[in-house]
Amino acid sequence: MSDCCTLASAPHHKSWRRHKSLIILRSVITRWFWRIRIRRERKRRSKISPVLIDDIGLTEQQAGSETTGFFWHV
């Protein structure tokens, strides 16, 4: 009797694991695209004007260091 119940619930368990893995994968990809977008925005803003960079309290060197590096180090 217990073998019957175990076999019947096995496909549901695999389906749930696959669904959970896809959710995790989607969140990782979304996070990477968000970080790429942030990095591009920082790079664009660093090229604007030294006055604007100074206005937010950064030096040009600090603004440059914010735009370099890997996108996953946001």
Distance CA 70, CA 25 (A): 20
pTM of the predicted structure, to 2 decimals: 0.47
Distance CA 34, CA 13 (A): 32
Determine the average pLDDT of the residues in 37-43.
83
Alpha helices (H) in 1-74, listed in sequence order:
2-46, 50-55, 60-67
Whole domain around residue 27: which residue ranges? Answer: 2-73
Arithmetic mean of pLDDT over the chain? 76
Determine the average pLDDT of the residues in 14-40.
89
Count of domains forming the chain: 1
C-alpha distances (whole Å) from 26 to each of 32, 33, 51 are: 10, 11, 39
Encoded tokens for 50: 């030294």
